[in-house]
Amino acid sequence: MLRLRLIVIATTMALAACSQQPNGAATSPAPTASAAPASSAAPVATAMTSNPFFTASTLPYQAPPFDKIHDGDYQPAIDEGMKQQLAEIEKIADNPDAPTFENTFVAMEKSGVMLYRVMAVFGAVTGANTDDALQKVQEDEAPKLAAHEDAIYLNDKLFQRVEAVYNQRDTLKLDPESARLVEVVYKNFVHAGAKLSEADKAKLKDLNKEESTLSTQFTNKLLAATKDAAVVVDDKTKLAGLSDAELAAAAQAAKDRKLADGKYVLTLQNTTQQPELQDLSDRGTRQAVFEASWNRAEKGDDNDTRKIIERLAQIRAEQAKLVGFPNYAAWKLDDQMAKTPETAMAFMDKLAPAAVARAKTEAADIQAQIDKDQAALKQPSFKLEPWDWNYYAEQVRKAKYDLDESQIKPYFELDNVLQNGVFYAANQLYGLTFKERHDIPVYQPDVRVFEVFDKDGKSLALFYCDYFKRDNKNGGAWMDNLVGQSKLLGTKPVIYNVANFSKPAAGQPALLSLDDVITMFHEFGHGLHGMFADEQYPTLSGTATARDFVEFPSQFNEHWATDPKVFANYAKNYKTGEPMPQELVDKMKKAGKFNSGYNMTELTAAALLDMNWHMLGADAPLQDADAFETAALKKDGIDLSYVPPRYRSSYFQHIWGNGYAAGYYAYLWTQMLADDAFVNFKDHGGLTRENGDHFRSMILSRGNTEDLAKMYKDWRGQDPSLEPMLENRGLKEVPNK
């Protein structure tokens, strides 16, 4: 199957990374796609045939047998998987028969089954449960995988067959999905350099290997940097403002690191701002936490990522020039909804001024709160800094809306949110039901598995959830497949969601912020996109869409977190079971767009930063990362000292390690789609099965089987409008709302 870019990256999206029910009923495994026969490559050693990846899993849905998989199994399985696929590809390329859709495109879709099997699992564990041995395998295999991709996409005999079928496509009477496959795969070959001269192909191969190696090194350095940058506190008074549960979690984190009693550890998440900053009353501690986050990947030779990203930007510009594009962004957006970086920049240019203006208004309110508090303490005031924003924004919210985050969290217990919020909304919209499975092996004890049943009661998918933060887990939240859906291969979806919520101390509830709740709905939206996949070909299945479309179903699903019917079903006190009082619900609604200027500014700043890095031409000199970042933010008018970008260049994992290069704008673009789509739902009755089934049939089940702009317009009845986004994200004042 030719989802090679996913294999080479072997990471999660991201983009965009549970209950106590009895075991679900046993389910028969999905039909097995046969691994390539040993005769198609060199004879396979007996040791390889005993490798758990050599044949399809016999577990339900071909779920990975994590109880049988060991670190030492991955590298030989990856190498054997590449060898098998290359043998299959050579057989296709050397076929003496005239090229046809079946003997070329379908044959390619059937290739690489073992490689995809191992890489799907390898991507999951290296993202969420890595160790030194796995990181070494990543670094060893990255250049090999890049070369493997090139060996397919730059195979001239294979491309001649692909091009021959493409040129005949209008006369072949293909069904719509098959016709789409021909167009997508042909364009993938051209984008990968299939039409280059042999000399330029050789140059591109070298660049691809170097990029893959550096990208893997970046990811591993950043993971180590984030772990090492955790803030150790030995004076409990410096943590004033944290709840008892948060203090217990910080104490447990110190114990996990084998630190002495009386120590506390505040671990970092992947974003610039950290959750504890809204609660910590000690300004010195806040500054220490912020600076640890901001400088995490710029300290010491071992963890400093700047030289890597400076070279990565240069490599990508050179790659783009070779394949005929002025810059990397132009190359990568050519097959996206936006089509060109100029379109994406123009879109963000409409958002940035409104976001910055609102952020400045919010900053004035926060500065006034600082002045008021300092005057009450009879101490001199100070200028608002980024480490002050979240703390004083919380004070402003309390003053303006009489709303405190600590009032809300008791109503958002993780398991209840999942069962009676996330799953409930999916049941109301799509008729899905869920049963926890305790007989399916997992890669880490925190992981839970649910079997998903369709509206007719038939088994649909497996869903794994891994929600708690660990030192050996990448930051952020994401979704991906352990097994992809394909009618051709007879496989059903095995989906996982990963997040980085703070794990409570033993015996304590996992209480979430509203942002955490929305993250759960977001990632499950990706999950639905994967679960409802109903495609023939793996290349077009599920979430294998353009970056500026793939975040649409997830951002759309966020809306159900605050839908009145869904919210009332899960927002209940974890101690008493009582629903959130209406007075508190009203306060939340009133404060719903609070801090929206900050939120939109930090997100837009990151998206613009990404685009600026990837609009560099091949003739641009090697950049200094810090100087480039400062200049880019200033140029785009989004350089507010108190609103840093959501990710600094040196820890921007999305664009340097996770495949979102020149694509981070997609989070904004798909907010437009999601908010416009939700208006359509509201206009037609909101949370109804009819609406859900219509959305599923025309969007969620369609994968990449047709032009995505057309797909959206066919469902919506019109092109998306920016107005709902401006209103919903607090960038436009709406009278009487």
pLDDT confidence of residue 41: 42
Same domain assignment for residues 72 and 131: yes
* Residue 716: pLDDT band with limits 50, 70, 90: very high
Same domain assignment for residues 392 and 468: no
* pLDDT over 50 (residue 594): yes
Strand ranges across the sheet with 494-501: 433-437, 448-453, 459-468, 494-501, 478-483
Same domain assignment for residues 493 and 534: yes
* Residue 201: pLDDT band with limits 50, 70, 90: very high
Question: Coil, strand, or helix at residue 261?
Answer: coil
CA distance 674 to 657: 26
Same domain assignment for residues 535 and 448: yes
- Categorise residue 595: left if φ over 0, alpha if ψ from -120 to 50, beta otherwise: left
Q: Which of 664, 690, 707 is the last residue of a domain?
A: 664
CA distance 614 to 634: 17
CB of 690 closer than 8 Å to CB of 337: no
pLDDT confidence of residue 733: 60
- 391 assigned to some structural domain: yes
- 461 assigned to some structural domain: yes
- 115 assigned to some structural domain: yes
Q: Which of 264, 279, 296 is the last residue of a domain?
A: 296
Using a pLDDT cut of 70, give the percent of the chain over it. Answer: 93
pTM, rounded to two decimals:
0.87
> Is the alpha carbon torsion for 716, 719, 721, 725 positive or negative?
positive
- 377 assigned to some structural domain: yes
Structure tokens belonging to residue 296: 């995490």
Q: Who contacts 82 (Cβ-Cβ below 8 Å, separation ≥6)?
A: 115, 144, 145, 148
Using a pLDDT cut of 90, give the percent of the chain over it. Answer: 88
* pLDDT over 50 (residue 735): no
- 287 assigned to some structural domain: yes
Q: How many domains does the chain have?
A: 4
Q: Which of 223, 247, 267 is the last residue of a domain?
A: 223
Q: Which residues form the domain of 448?
A: 410-573
* Residue 477: pLDDT band with limits 50, 70, 90: very high
Region 45-59: mean pLDDT is 87
For 173-190, what is each residue's pLDDT tens digit?
999 999 999 999 999 999
Same domain assignment for residues 165 and 289: no
* pLDDT over 60 (residue 17): no
* Residue 406: pLDDT band with limits 50, 70, 90: confident
Mean pLDDT for all residues in the chain: 92
Same domain assignment for residues 488 and 527: yes
- Cα–Cα separations (whole angstroms), residue 451 to 68, 230, 309, 455, 531: 21, 36, 41, 13, 11
CATH number, domain of 481, equals: 1.10.1370.40
Range name among 9-23, 267-281, 288-302 with the lowest pLDDT average = 9-23
- 70 assigned to some structural domain: yes
CA distance 671 to 268: 26
pLDDT confidence of residue 46: 57
pLDDT confidence of residue 212: 94
Exposure of 330 in the CB half-sphere (CA atoms within 13 A): 16
For 608-637, what is each residue's pLDDT tens digit?
999 999 999 999 999 999 999 999 999 999
Beta-bridged to residue 466, according to DSSP, are 498
| Helix 423-430 and helix 514-531, axial crossing angle in degrees, nearest 10 | 40
* pLDDT over 90 (residue 27): no
State yes or no: is 451 an active-site residue.
no
* pLDDT over 90 (residue 58): yes
CA 214 to chain centre: 20
- Phi and psi for 479 in degrees, rounded to 5? -130, 150
* pLDDT over 60 (residue 52): yes
* pLDDT over 70 (residue 42): no
pLDDT confidence of residue 436: 98
Structure tokens belonging to residue 707: 């032009």
Which of 651, 643, 629 has the alpha carbon at shortest distance from 296? Answer: 651
pLDDT confidence of residue 45: 55
- 585 assigned to some structural domain: no
For 480-512, what is each residue's pLDDT tens digit?
999 999 999 999 999 999 999 999 989 999 999
* Residue 48: pLDDT band with limits 50, 70, 90: confident
| Helix 113-128 and helix 132-153, axial crossing angle in degrees, nearest 10 | 140
Region 265-290: mean pLDDT is 96
Region 277-282: mean pLDDT is 96
pLDDT confidence of residue 404: 84
The residue behind tokens 């490798």 is 51
CB of 600 closer than 8 Å to CB of 729: yes
For 665-688, what is each residue's pLDDT tens digit?
999 999 999 999 999 999 999 999
* pLDDT over 90 (residue 23): no
Region 324-343: mean pLDDT is 96
Same domain assignment for residues 449 and 523: yes
Which of 663, 308, 270, 211 has the alpha carbon at shortest distance from 469? Answer: 270
pLDDT confidence of residue 306: 97
Question: Coil, strand, or helix at residue 591?
Answer: coil
Question: Coil, strand, or helix at residue 29?
Answer: coil
Q: Which residue has the higher pLDDT, 47 or 404?
A: 404
For 373-405, what is each residue's pLDDT tens digit?
999 999 999 999 999 999 999 999 888 888 888
Same domain assignment for residues 241 and 340: no
Which entry of 141, 211, 523, 558 is annotated as an active-site residue?
523
Same domain assignment for residues 18 and 166: yes
